[in-house]
Amino acid sequence: HLHFLNHVFGEHPRTGALDVCPFIPVQNVSMEDCVRCAETFGQRLAEMLHVPVYLYGEAARRETRRSLPSVRAGEYEALPDKLKSADWSPDFGPAEFVPSWGATVTGARKFLIAFNVNVIATKEQAHRIALDVREQGRGKTQPGRLQKVQGMGWYLDESNMAQVSTNILDYELTPLHTVHQEICSVAKELKLPVVGSQIVGLIPLKAVLDSADFFIQRDGLFILEEEHKVRLVISELGLDSLGPFNPKDRIIEYMVQSGDDSRLVSLSLQQFVQSVGARTAAPGGGSVSAAVAAMGAALGAMVGQMTYGKRQFDHLDGVMRRLIPPFHQAAKELLLMVDADSTAFNSYMAALKMPKTSLDEIKRREAAMQAGLQRAVSVPLALAERVGVLWAPLKEMVVNGNIACKSDAQVTRTPPKHLN
């Protein structure tokens, strides 16, 4: 395996050849699942290589080991003495110093965002900013400004500038834009220029969209498309200052999208119609209703878009900014119901096919049928409720929308009679 002593030591804290291996819930998995993965990995690594392994984060077995910096304290150089202490006996493997490896830390945690802000400054000045903003601050008597944020300052020789390097441990508690703003604020106090930023590794889509919503609200912008929101954040934070920021390669949800997309909404219109007309129970009326409703909502958004931004309708810009988003959002949500309805119905059909040769099998079948029925009914009910909410803004859109789109608005407002 790797021989730790053969590698040049850099700026980043480290405890060994494999410093840290976190397990993070991204999609369709729980934190408890990640804890089990960390425990299994840690045990196997220790058994195979005979090296000390520590658990941290949600997998930590001691409160003093929840934080990665506390486990890393003293780093590789401190391990010979640290391993002699009962307080720092490893969770797996021998309590012995292995010079060629060091130690490994593994655990489970929320998604960590490695976010570095570029500053034209010295390493010491960048570190001073980091001390002000990071949660740990300068110690217990001088805590920092931001919760769940780690930070340090360093110098990038290859870029000839310093960075305030941060780890955002909980981006929902302390969002990306908040970290950037605080660093900019401290840098301004020190009369130091901030020149862009950098995401190291991947970032969750929600973290980007949360920051986009902040900038949109702060500046009174009108942006609906997800792609445009991502571009806004890249521009506002200068994420491409040290190299290209390609969302498809850097945003984790875009990275894990399956190339085999079997969703109904991914079919061409011709394929979808043929699928509806096939000799199968699904997709059926529920999926068709959702598709038609989504197109109706999209038509409502179109009428607004054909009104917004035109000189003759300048006086209606404020009205359109208010009316367009509900239709835009509804179109996205109603599209999801196209597949949701078929999936729910198929779950009921699967329950019907369950065996019923014994009393236990009959009970399980009936329970599965009831659950399937509830799912099958809940989707069209949610569809009706979602469409009903649009009726009030649609009436207003018909009154204020571009007269050239009147026929489109009339198609949009062709609901069942009981909604009139």
* DSSP single-letter state for residue 88: G
Provide the pairing of β-strand 20-23 with 104-108: parallel
* DSSP single-letter state for residue 280: S
Say if residue 99 is preceded by a cis peptide, omega within 30 of 0: no
State how far the Cα of 232 lies from the Cα of 212, in Å rounded to an integer. Answer: 7
DSSP-H helix ranges across 50-156? 68-72, 75-82, 123-133
* DSSP single-letter state for residue 139: S
- Per DSSP, the residues of 118-131 read EESS-HHHHHHHHH
Provide the pairing of β-strand 161-168 with 149-156: antiparallel
State how far the Cα of 165 lies from the Cα of 192, in Å rounded to an integer. Answer: 16
Which helix (H) or strand (E) element contains residue 263?
A: none
Query: Which token pair is 264?
Result: 């109904």
DSSP-H helix ranges across 251-316? 252-255, 269-276, 285-305
CA distance readout (Å), 306 to 50, 137, 221: 68, 52, 18
Contact 354, 365 (CB under 8 A): yes
State how far the Cα of 390 lies from the Cα of 396, in Å rounded to an integer. Answer: 10
Contact 189, 129 (CB under 8 A): no
Q: Report the half-sphere exposure of 175 (CA within 13 A, side-chain side).
A: 16
- Per DSSP, the residues of 41-62 read HHHHHHHHH---EEEEETT-SS
Q: Is the dihedral of CA 281, 285, 291, 292 positive or negative?
A: positive
151-184 burial by CB neighbour count: b if 16+ within 10 A, else e?
bbbbbbeeeebbbbbbbbbebeebbbbbbbebbb
Q: Report the half-sphere exposure of 239 (CA within 13 A, side-chain side).
A: 23
Catalytic residues: 12, 341
